[in-house]
Structure formats: C-alpha cells, structure tokens
Amino acid sequence: MLAAAIRRLAQALFVMFGISVLVFLIFVATPGADPAARIAGRNASPETLAAVRHDFGLDRPLPVQYAVLMRRLFVTRDLMSFVNRGQQVIPTIAEAAPVTLSLVAGAGVLWVIGSLVVGLVAAATRGSVLDRLLMILGLIGISMPVFWLAEVVNLFTQSRWHDTWLFSWVPPLGYQPLTTNPLGWFKALVIPWITLSILFIGLYGRVLRASLIEAYEEDYIRTARAKGLSERRVLLRHALRTSLITFVSLFGLDFGALVGGGAVLTEVVFGLHGVGKLTYDALLNLDLPLIMATVLYASFFVVAASAVVDIGYAWLDPRVRLGR
C-alpha cells in the first residue's frame, strides 16, 4: 500500500516537473517574450538591456534560469513578475485563489445536485415525455458556449431586466470577499454559479442517465427486483450506487481542472479575478514567472484530483479495493 502511494507521488511529481519544463521551454523560445526588453522598457539602449539581463540572470544558460525560477518560487518564495514591477507572484495567486474557489465550489454543488436530479428522473421515467424533455434541455446546455451564455445572462441581469424584481438584487460584476461581506459575496456569485453549472448539468445528467440505463440491464438488478424491493429502492440503492462510481471519477477530474483555473472564460465575462483570469493575463503578457507559477498551480490540482479520484474509486468499488 505504502509503496504504491509513494510511486504515485513520484509519478505525480514527475508529471508536474514535465509540465513546468514544457511550459518553460515554450515561453523562453518565444521572441516576443524577451523579458529583458519588457523590464527595461521600450527603446532601451543595448547597454541597459544587457545590464537588465544580467541582473535578472537572463544571460545564464536555460537550465540555470529554470532552476533559479524554481528556487525563487518554492524556496525563497519571493518570485517576482517580469512585467509588473514589484508584484510578487505568490501573494498574487493567493489573492486570486479564493475567488476561483468560491466560484467553482458553488457551481460544483449546483451541478452535482442538478445532474443527479436530471439523471435519476430521466432514467426512472425512461422513454416518457419528461425524459425526452430533460435530454433536450441537457443537449442545449452542452451546446452553449459558456462565455456566450454568460454574456446573454449579463444582458438580462445587468441591463434589460435589471429593474424588475427578478434581477434588481444583482450587484455589478465583480467579486466580494466572503469574510467582509457574506451577503454580497453570495449575491455576486449566484448568477455565475448558475451559468457555469448549466453546461455541466447537461453533460453529467446525460452521462448519468446512460449509465443508469446500462446498469438496469445488469443481472443484479433482476435479482434485486426478484427480492421484492420497491422500484425506487432498486433505482437508488442498486443502480445508482454502481453508476456513481463513474460519475464521481469524472466529477473529480473536471472539478480539479476547474479549481486550477479552468473557469477562465466564466471569470473573464463576470469580472471575477480568479486564478483562471490570472493565468490568462499572465500568458497574454508573456510574464514568465507568473506563467510558471500559475501553470504549476493548475497542474498540481489536476494531478491531485487524479489521485483523489483513484482513492475514491477504490473506496466506492470493493472489487478494486479487495480484488481477488
């Protein structure tokens, strides 16, 4: 058990290392990314450029530069942005993290509840009008680009219907910290939560329904019915329980990716300065230190989510846990 855990850890670290190297190489090779020119400002003289380069260690060989970046990020923790002078990378990420976390956690709760309801109802009433309606809604849900939906939603909540009782409580776009203004925090996030979760409810609702219908074909459902159990119990305790295994695995991976910054589109349109937006801005500005930090942040969560999902899988499925 322990050996396997250590191996997984080593694997995870290797993957993160690989990703960071890959990103480093991509950006270092970009001509427009020459940090020295950006730091020194435009029309800097060649001497200034050389001096800046030397100061920031940009004239050293690539592996050394990489090592320096890593050291400043993890050991001394004073890594600074190349673009915004004086901006410390780690505090910047620390500030953006709660925003993303709030957005993603709330949306996650909505999406899990939503897709469970949709999937269960659709599978239970299979073939009926309700089932078909739910599936069509789900189809529409996954076909709408999230940023477009966000724009349309904004149109109505901020502008067109803002004065009606329906949306008058919607605050202007932006984030309000939980600790200083809980109600404001909630009000600012409700619409983004709903918008972000629609896509996932559509997706997971359909997946769950398909999974449940497949489970229904299994022999153990026939046995459960032969036991004389009510149809509802058969659905919930037998079919759902086995379908949950896949559901939870998929959820874990998607959620992990979102926490690491995958909700960039939603964040941009709703004016929430979260990690996704931070990553995007860093990439646009070709700000190498910030890029490295945010990419590592994102890949950490992806890798961690993968590990958690594996553990969760073993916990949920005794065949994996106690395999013969």
Partner 1 sequence: MRRLGRDRAAMAALVLLCLIVLACLLAPVYAARIAHSDPFQSNVGGEVVIGGDSVPVLQPETGGLGLGVTPIGPTWHGAFLLGADMQGRDLAARLLYGGRNSLMIAAGASAICLVLSAIVGIVAGYFGGIVDAILARLLDVLWAFPVYLLAISLSIVLINSRLRIGPVTIASDSLLLPMLILGIVNVPYVARPVRGQVLSLKESDFVLAAIALGVPNRRILARDLLPNVASTLIVFAPLMLALNVMAEAALSFLSIGVQPPVASWGTIIQDGQNLIYTRPLVAIVPGLAIVLTVIALNVLGDGLRDALDPRAKIRVRAG
Partner 2 sequence: MEVRDLAIAFRTEAGLVRVVDNVSFSVAEREIVGIVGESGSGKTLSLLAVIGLIQDPNAVITGSLRYKGRELIGLAPRRLHRIRGREIAMIFQDPMTALTPVYTIGWHIVEQIRAHADISRRAARRRAIELLGEVGLPDPARQADRYPHQLSGGQRQRALIAIALSCNPSLLIADEPTTALDVTVQVQILRLLERLRRDFGSAVVLITHDMGVVAELADRVMVMYAGRIVECGTREDVFRQPGHPYTWGLMRSIPPLHGAKPRRLAAIPGSPPSPAERPAGCPFRPRCIFRHAPCLDQPALYARGGQEIACFLIPEGSDPEHATPAVDAA
Positions in the binding site for partner 2 (CB under 8 A):
127, 218-231, 233, 237-238, 241-242, 316-319, 322-324
Give the integer Cα–Cα distance in Å for 153 and 147.
Answer: 10
174 touches partner 1 by CB under 8 A: no
Query: What is the identity of the amino acid at 70?
Result: M
19 touches partner 1 by CB under 8 A: yes
Among 65, 266, 299, 309, binds partner 1 (CB under 8 A): 299
Q: Which residue, 171 or 185, has its beta carbon nearer to partner 1?
A: 171
280 touches partner 1 by CB under 8 A: yes
Contact between 286 and 38 under an 8 Å Cβ cutoff? The reply is yes
279 touches partner 1 by CB under 8 A: yes
Among 260, 272, 288, 317, binds partner 1 (CB under 8 A): 260
Contacts with partner 1 by CB under 8 A: the residue count is 46
Least Å distance, CB 304 to partner 1, is: 11
Handedness of CA 295, 12, 9, 245 (dihedral sign): positive
Least Å distance, CB 252 to partner 1, is: 14
52 touches partner 1 by CB under 8 A: no
Q: With CA atoms as reference, report the closest residue to 247 among 316, 145, 303.
A: 316
Least Å distance, CB 319 to partner 2, is: 5
168 touches partner 1 by CB under 8 A: no
Q: What is the DSSP string of 13-68?
A: HHHHHHHHHHHHHHHHT-GGG-HHHHHH-TT--HHHHHHHHHHTTTTS-HHHHHHH
Contact between 135 and 143 under an 8 Å Cβ cutoff? The reply is no
Least Å distance, CB 298 to partner 1, is: 5
What separation in angstroms does the CA of 214 have from each of 139, 211, 220, 242?
Answer: 20, 5, 12, 10
Contact between 279 and 56 under an 8 Å Cβ cutoff? The reply is no
Least Å distance, CB 181 to partner 1, is: 26
Q: Which residue, 130 or 139, has its beta carbon nearer to partner 1?
A: 139
Token pair in block for residue 48: 């200034």
DSSP secondary structure letter of residue 84: S
Interface residue list for partner 1 (CB under 8 A): 15, 18-19, 22-23, 26-27, 29-33, 139-140, 142-145, 147-149, 151-152, 154-155, 158-159, 217, 257, 260-262, 264-265, 268, 279-280, 283-284, 286, 295, 298-299, 302-303, 306
